[in-house]
């Protein structure tokens, strides 16, 4: 039922662990048609697709009064569980919001990091086989913790639990649409659906294709394909390993549930447990047959190397010693009591995670995905003078003369202005001294009678400022 392969069978190992993104050209082509139609046709096209794919019969937007009415039908234990899960997610999300700061790099030079929430985000909530209120919580609560102004949800078939989760998470608007047409509506906006700054949340291949197509015009979180789990086992009870694999496999026939066991005997015991626990109905059996497997590693070190090579969405390991050597994983679950399923609901960490090897470059969705980090820079006159040689030297080394002159025109203008002020000040002081000296030279003698008109001597005129001398007017010749 499930394959057991030795780690020496590189081709089989690569097939199990190398779950790269598979591009379906036909799906992408059809998704492009839907996106283009909604972008051009707005509500008219959106309603047509919603009637075709979502069985929509009423309005696109669900009024808030309907949320409240339907949420009242949810049982007390489920409402309390939603509330407890939301509380844990909120606590973790608040710690994830980046902090603003301001740093004096050198005297006269300051850099500030300003944290600005996005204005509006769209959360896609799948509604295929099962209602997923937990996915709504995982999408919307980090956005709320980050301070996003408006949270919009798209869900094709929301049930009472989804409405209860929307109320708990602080969602602002909810639309009864799904698929590629919902993604297009949120990315470009229609008369009914507002345009958002970013779209987050997992979905099927149509949703993933549409998110990729609109990503040039609207922010997205990341590619989220079929779910994955990788369990590294050396001493974990086989029954527990089997239960974890089945739990992930029941999401979807395309889900990938794999175990790396350190020994053939352990692998066979896990396989027996799988056969005994596997339900008769549901997608888990098909998933494990198509995509599941147990790899027998020669050692724990080899198992860790294979896990890092895989970069799985969910990675389950037995100890802190193993966890310290892991570098690639969307989310890691350490110790036998840290069931991966707990992370789907109540731990508080996000379950929207990168798949298909994308965990090599990023982790899961978090509150930092809902803010912008704006760099604010300030330089004083003295600060610019201090770094001007560094800037102009590097600019000219790169052949960018205009860059260098942008600095030099400032520094040069400052120098010129200061020089003009200095010269003007010195001239004023010289003029004052000259005036005082001339007054003493040509002024009236207190011991002799003062003449009616005192004419300055030629030698005294040399010390006078040019502007103090009046040029005599030329006399007009008489004809």
Query: Mean pLDDT across the stretch 233-239?
Result: 95
**313 is a catalytic site residue:** yes
Please report the pLDDT score of residue 194 as a whole number: 98
Q: What angle do the packed helices 284-291 and 238-249 form, to 10 degrees?
A: 100
Whether the predicted pLDDT of 384 surpasses 60: yes
Please report the pLDDT score of residue 360 as a whole number: 93
Whether the predicted pLDDT of 421 surpasses 70: no
Query: Mean pLDDT across the stretch 293-308?
Result: 96
User: Could you list the residue range(s) of the whole structural domain that residue 392 is in?
Assistant: 380-412
Beta-sheet strand order (sheet of 314-317)? 3-6, 293-296, 256-261, 228-233, 314-317, 331-334
Tell me the whole-structure pTM to 2 decimals. Answer: 0.82
Please report the pLDDT score of residue 22 as a whole number: 64
- DSSP for 388-404, please give it: HHHHHHHHHHTT-HHHH
Question: Do 241 and 333 have their domain in common?
Answer: yes
Query: Is 331 within a domain?
Result: yes
User: Mean pLDDT lowest for which of 60-69, 86-95, 391-400, 443-452?
Assistant: 443-452
Whether the predicted pLDDT of 222 surpasses 70: yes
Whether the predicted pLDDT of 295 surpasses 70: yes
Whether the predicted pLDDT of 453 surpasses 80: no
Choose the catalytic residue: 181, 313, 318, 351: 313
Query: Is 106 within a domain?
Result: no
Query: Is 92 within a domain?
Result: yes
Alpha carbon distance 284, 291 (integer Å)? 10
Provide the 3-class DSSP secondary structure of residue 101. strand
Alpha carbon distance 446, 465 (integer Å)? 27
Query: Mean pLDDT across the stretch 177-193?
Result: 97
User: Mean pLDDT lowest for which of 69-83, 302-316, 351-365, 434-448?
Assistant: 434-448
Query: Is 172 within a domain?
Result: yes
Q: How many CA atoms lie within 13 A of 323 on its CB side?
A: 15
- DSSP for 280-312, please give it: SSSSHHHHHHHH-EEEE-SSHHHHHHHHHHH--
What residues contact 211, with CB distance under 8 A and at least 6 apart? 183, 199, 203, 220, 223
Whether the predicted pLDDT of 445 surpasses 90: no
Please report the pLDDT score of residue 461 as a whole number: 42
What residues contact 194, with CB distance under 8 A and at least 6 apart? 120, 150, 152, 173, 186
User: Mean pLDDT lowest for which of 7-16, 331-340, 387-396, 410-419?
Assistant: 410-419
What pLDDT band is residue 413 in, cutting at 50, 70 and 90? low
Domain limit, last residue, from 221, 238, 258? 221
pLDDT tens-digit map of 140-155: 999 999 999 999 999 9
Domain limit, last residue, from 412, 432, 458? 412
Choose the catalytic residue: 168, 181, 250, 314: 314
Alpha carbon distance 291, 285 (integer Å)? 10
Question: Do 35 and 88 have their domain in common?
Answer: yes
Contact 152, 196 (CB under 8 A): yes
Query: Is 9 within a domain?
Result: yes
Question: Do 7 and 126 have their domain in common?
Answer: no
Whether the predicted pLDDT of 478 surpasses 90: no
**251 is a catalytic site residue:** no
Query: Is 7 within a domain?
Result: yes
Domain limit, last residue, from 325, 348, 371? 348
202 burial type by CB count under 10 A (0-12 exposed, 13-18 middle, 19+ buried): buried
Q: What angle do the packed helices 179-188 and 25-41 form, to 10 degrees?
A: 50
Give the domain CATH number at 209.
Answer: 3.40.50.1980
Please report the pLDDT score of residue 463 as a whole number: 42
Please report the pLDDT score of residue 479 as a whole number: 40
**DSSP letter, residue 466:** G
Question: Do 77 and 212 have their domain in common?
Answer: yes
Query: Is 30 within a domain?
Result: yes
Provide the 3-class DSSP secondary structure of residue 173. strand
Question: Do 72 and 173 have their domain in common?
Answer: yes
Question: Do 168 and 316 have their domain in common?
Answer: no
Whether the predicted pLDDT of 440 surpasses 60: no
Please report the pLDDT score of residue 429 as a whole number: 52
Please report the pLDDT score of residue 70 as a whole number: 96
Which uninterrupted H or E stretch holds 207? Answer: helix 205-214
Question: Do 128 and 196 have their domain in common?
Answer: yes
Alpha carbon distance 312, 246 (integer Å)? 16
Query: Is 197 within a domain?
Result: yes
Alpha carbon distance 14, 295 (integer Å)? 11
Query: Mean pLDDT across the stretch 329-358?
Result: 94
Beta-sheet strand order (sheet of 120-124)? 173-175, 150-154, 120-124, 198-200, 219-220
Whether the predicted pLDDT of 117 surpasses 80: yes
Contact 135, 125 (CB under 8 A): yes
Whether the predicted pLDDT of 414 surpasses 60: no
Contact 213, 32 (CB under 8 A): yes
Question: Do 207 and 290 have their domain in common?
Answer: no
User: Mean pLDDT lowest for which of 121-125, 264-268, 323-327, 416-420?
Assistant: 416-420
Whether the predicted pLDDT of 425 surpasses 90: no
Query: Mean pLDDT across the stretch 228-239?
Result: 95
Number of structural domains, the chain? 3
pLDDT cut 90: percent of the chain above it: 77
**DSSP letter, residue 347:** S
Question: Do 44 and 181 have their domain in common?
Answer: yes
Question: Do 68 and 157 have their domain in common?
Answer: yes
Alpha carbon distance 414, 418 (integer Å)? 6
Please report the pLDDT score of residue 432 as a whole number: 46
Question: Do 233 and 311 have their domain in common?
Answer: yes
The per-residue pLDDT of the chain, averaged, comes to: 88
Question: Do 90 and 210 have their domain in common?
Answer: yes
Alpha carbon distance 346, 338 (integer Å)? 11
Contact 159, 331 (CB under 8 A): no
């Amino acid at each position: 039922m499930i394959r057991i392969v030795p780690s020496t069978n590189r081709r089989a190992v690569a097939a199990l662990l190398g779950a790269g993104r598979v591009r379906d050209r036909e799906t992408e082509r059809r998704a492009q048609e839907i996106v283009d139609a909604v972008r051009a046709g707005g509500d008219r096209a959106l309603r047509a697709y919603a009637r075709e794919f979502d069985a929509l019969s009423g309005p696109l937007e669900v009024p808030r009064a309907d949320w409240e009415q339907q949420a009242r039908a949810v049982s007390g234990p489920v409402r309390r569980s939603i509330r407890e899960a939301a509380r844990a997610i909120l606590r973790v999300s608040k710690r994830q919001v980046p902090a603003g700061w301001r740093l004096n790099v050198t005297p006269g030079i300051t850099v500030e990091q300003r944290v600005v929430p996005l204005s509006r985000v769209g959360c896609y909530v799948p509604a295929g086989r099962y209602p997923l209120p937990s996915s709504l919580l995982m999408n919307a609560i980090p956005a709320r913790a980050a301070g996003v102004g408006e949270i919009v949800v798209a869900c094709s078939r929301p049930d009472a639990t989804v409405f209860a989760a929307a109320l708990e998470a602080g969602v602002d608007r909810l639309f009864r649409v799904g698929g590629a047409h919902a993604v297009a509506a949120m990315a470009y906006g229609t008369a009914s659906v507002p345009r958002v700054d970013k779209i987050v949340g997992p979905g099927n291949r149509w949703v993933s294709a549409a998110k990729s197509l609109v990503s040039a015009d609207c922010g997205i979180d990341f590619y989220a394909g079929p779910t994955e789990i990788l369990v590294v086992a050396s001493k974990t009870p086989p029954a527990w390993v089997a239960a974890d694999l089945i739990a992930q496999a029941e999401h979807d026939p395309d889900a990938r549930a794999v175990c790396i066991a350190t020994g053939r005997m352990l692998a066979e015991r896990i396989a027996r447990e799988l056969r005994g626990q596997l339900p008769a109905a549901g997608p888990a059996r098909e998933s494990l047959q198509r995509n599941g497997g147990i790899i027998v590693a020669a050692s724990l070190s080899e198992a860790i190397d294979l896990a890092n090579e895989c970069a799985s969405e969910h990675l389950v390991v037995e100890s802190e010693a193993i966890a310290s050597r892991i570098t690639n994983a969307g989310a890691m679950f350490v110790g036998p009591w840290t069931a991966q399923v707990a992370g789907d609901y109540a731990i508080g960490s996000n379950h929207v995670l990168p798949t298909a090897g994308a965990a090599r470059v990023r982790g899961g969705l978090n509150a930092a995905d809902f803010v912008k980090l704006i760099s604010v820079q300030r330089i004083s006159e003295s600060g610019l003078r201090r770094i001007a040689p560094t800037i102009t030297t590097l600019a000219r080394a790169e052949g960018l003369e205009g860059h260098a002159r942008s600095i030099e025109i400032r520094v040069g203008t400052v120098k010129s202005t200061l020089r003009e002020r200095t010269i003007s000040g010195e001239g004023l002081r010289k003029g004052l001294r000259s005036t005082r000296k001339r007054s003493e030279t040509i002024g009236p003698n207190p011991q002799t009678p003062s003449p009616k008109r005192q004419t300055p001597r030629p030698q005294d005129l040399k010390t006078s400022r040019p502007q103090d001398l009046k040029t005599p007017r030329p006399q007009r010749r008489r004809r």
